[in-house]
Homo-oligomer: A and B are copies of this chain.
Amino acid sequence: MPEAAFADAAARLRPLDEGARAAARVRHDQLTKPPGSLGGLEELGAQLAAISGRCPPPVPQSPAVAVFAADHGVAVAGVTMWPQDITAQMVANFVAGGAAINVIARQVGAAVHVVDVGVAAELGDEPGVRDHKVRPGTASLADGPAMTETEAMTALDAGAEVAAQLAGEGHDLLVTGDMGIGNTTAAAALVSVYCDRPASDVTGPGAGSDADTVARKVAVVAAAADRARRQNEPVAVLAEVGGLEIAALAGFVVGAAAARVPVVVDGVITLAALAAADAIVPGVGAHCIAGHRSPEPGASAVLEDLGLEPILDMGLRLGEGTGGCLAVAIVQAAARVLGEMATFDALGG
A binding-site residues for B, Cβ under 8 Å:
31-41, 82, 86, 89-90, 92-93, 96, 98-100, 102-104, 106-108, 207-208, 295, 311-318, 322, 326, 328-330, 332-333, 336-337, 340-342, 346-349
Contact = CB atoms under 8 A, between A and B. Distances in A.
13 contacts: A31-B100, A32-B93, A33-B207, A34-B317, A37-B318, A38-B316, A39-B317, A41-B326, A103-B333, A103-B337, A104-B337, A107-B329, A326-B330
Contacts of A347: 89, 92-93, 98
A158 to B, nearest CB: 25
B98 A207 contact: no
Contacts of A36: 208
Contact of A100 (B33, B102, B322, B328): B33
Nearest to A109: B329
Nearest to A330: B326
A123 to B, nearest CB: 15
Nearest to A344: B89
Contact of A96 (B39, B82, B342): B342
A170 B90 CA distance: 37
B98 A37 contact: no
Given A86-B349, A93-B32, A100-B32, A37 B316 contact: yes
Given A89-B348, A98-B342, A108-B333, 7 more contacts: A33-B100, A40-B314, A86-B349, A100-B337, A106-B340, A326-B329, A326-B330
B349 A89 contact: yes
A-B CB proximity, top 9 nearest: A39-B315, A98-B342, A40-B314, A329-B329, A34-B207, A37-B318, A34-B208, A107-B333, A103-B340
A342 B99 contact: yes
Nearest to A314: B40
Contacts of A31: 100
B208 A37 contact: yes
A37 B317 contact: yes
Contacts of A102: 340
A90 to B, nearest CB: 7
Given A98-B32, A106-B336, A311 B311 contact: no
A330 B207 CA distance: 21
Nearest to A40: B314
